[in-house]
Amino acid sequence: MTDTLLETLRAKLGDAYVLTGDAAAPFSQDWSGQVRWTPRAVLRPADTAQVAKIVRLANETKTPVVPVSGNTGLAKGTSGEGALMLSLDRLNKVIDVNPSRRTATVEAGVILSNLHDAAEAHDLIFPLTFGARGSAMIGGALSTNAGGSNVVRYGSTRGLCLGIEAVTPTGQVLNLMSALHKDNSGYDLRDLLIGAEGTLGVITAAVVKLFPKPRAYATAMVAAPSVNAALDLLYRLQAETGGAVEAFEYMPGAYIDAHLERFPEARAPFDARHEVNILVEVGAMAARDAVAGEDGEVPIVAHLESVLGSLFETGAVLDAVVAKSDAQRREMWARREAAAEVSRLHSPIVDNDIAVPIDAVQTLVERLHARTKALDPDAGILNVAHLGDGNLHFAAWPSTEDQEIHRAIGLAVEEETMSLGGSFSAEHGVGLSKKPAMARYKDPVAMAVMRQIKTALDPNGIMNPGKVLPNA
């Protein structure tokens, strides 16, 4: 039987850009592989105008549309059984890098690492970074308000975006491509669409902030007596460096063990095993901190060594290794950025992306270990954290296939997180995975307002249906 809708779309896009059957197979699951689906078709528009045509037609026919950018999400946000999957991979132009404004204008399909390269060509950086930067696209990062490792210095993704262009669920093009840092002219629709996970429209382009590229980095692995002691180290380093700490990443001893199991060719960070391991990176902007002296020593590196050495003398630091080359720095970062792969070392897995106030991380970790072991004494536990912003990635490897135990562990994680004033969703998004938590914990008035917004903007419910909102 002829699919009239797809024939119309082929006429608008070209046969090569309407994928079905085996050609659509790469879009039938996300990176995690935890859920599979069969899309009606995968559409690859060339520009915003084609995106608008697709969405207008989908709205007229009440056909579900699932935007996808990179498909590296971890919350099942791109599942699309029978839906039109809208790939933005051809909208991949870095339209402009403006050093005078310190902005970049990019299409939504630009891969994050390509944006990094474009900024670096002008001695600037776009500071959003995470392990999937080589495949994740900026449109997807904005749609999930992805976090990453540099939030402690530069803020979240939402704060790195000045303007966006988006196609509304009725197929209109919303032009908010402003480079303004201050604009109080009405409701902030940009911030509404960022983090909406494609449920309120399709982000097609953005204006993002750029920052001066640090002239030098000082990077180290540090062993601390406790998570709270590590926080004291963070505050000390922020004071000592004038707020130049770019990343402060927590890896417990169990994570180091699992990383070595997954990558046997890797090295342990220290000769002895420690329970609290921190990756810290400081970025120096001033020449006085970044230019090597006659002895070849880079001042910011020497300063970091000095601070860590003084803390070692007092017992506030148990051990430290400062990177002396870019290769050593990359090795340290590779250990942390392998977290997603390491977490899949064993199965089944119950994984969570949660956040609490920074000073509650140690309490949360202790409570989650206790609750998990009470439910499943033989469960493995793996966690890592962006400690500088309170975001904890907690994973349990249950010793049983019993789904009731899995659900109980997940619920315990949410309960302890919320009891400490936290969030059940920090940076990965809600997608399908966190919808039950939304129903349990989200303020009812907030939920009502969100539903009203969804109904007003997407009356036919075509945009990424079934995601984010319970019972949607």
Each residue's pLDDT tens digit in the chain (472 positions)?
569 999 999 999 999 999 999 999 989 988 777 788 999 999 999 999 999 999 999 999 999 999 998 887 878 888 889 999 999 999 999 999 999 999 999 999 999 999 999 999 999 999 999 888 999 999 999 999 988 899 999 999 999 999 999 999 999 999 999 999 999 999 999 999 999 999 999 999 999 999 999 999 999 999 999 999 999 999 999 999 999 999 999 999 999 999 999 999 999 999 999 999 999 999 999 888 888 887 778 999 999 999 999 999 999 999 999 999 999 999 999 999 999 899 988 999 999 999 999 999 999 999 999 999 999 999 999 999 999 999 999 999 999 999 999 999 999 999 999 999 999 999 989 998 999 999 999 999 999 999 999 999 999 999 999 999 998 6
CATH of domain 4-87: 3.30.43.10
Q: So what's the pLDDT on residue 211?
A: 97
| Residues in the chain, total | 472
End-to-end CA separation in angstroms for the chain: 30
Alpha-carbon span 138 to 121, nearest angstrom? 18
Contact status, residue 316 vs residue 229, Cβ threshold 8 Å: yes
Q: Is 295 exposed, middle or buried (0-12, 13-18, 19+ CB in 10 A)?
A: exposed
Q: So what's the pLDDT on residue 463?
A: 98
What does the radius of gyration of the chain's CA atoms come to, in whole angstroms?
A: 23
Residue 128 corresponds to which amino acid?
L
Contact status, residue 295 vs residue 241, Cβ threshold 8 Å: no
Alpha-carbon span 349 to 347, nearest angstrom? 5
Q: What is the pTM of this model?
A: 0.93
- Identical fold for domains 216-339 and 346-430, yes or no, is yes
Q: So what's the pLDDT on residue 130?
A: 87
CATH architecture, domain defined by 94-212? 2-Layer Sandwich (3.30)
Contact status, residue 376 vs residue 399, Cβ threshold 8 Å: yes
In sequence order, the β-bridge partners of residue 279 are: 221, 249
**Nearest by Cα to 277 from 306, 245, 248:** 248
CATH architecture, domain defined by 216-339? 2-Layer Sandwich (3.30)
Contact status, residue 194 vs residue 157, Cβ threshold 8 Å: yes
Q: So what's the pLDDT on residue 324?
A: 93
The alpha carbon dihedral of 356, 362, 366, 369 has a sign of positive
Helices 361-375/227-240 angle, 10° precision: 160
Q: Which two tokens stand for residue 366?
A: 């202790």
Q: Where are the domains of the chain?
A: 4-87, 94-212, 216-339, 346-430
**Residue 446 parent element (H or E):** helix 444-457
CATH class for the region spanning 346-430: alpha beta
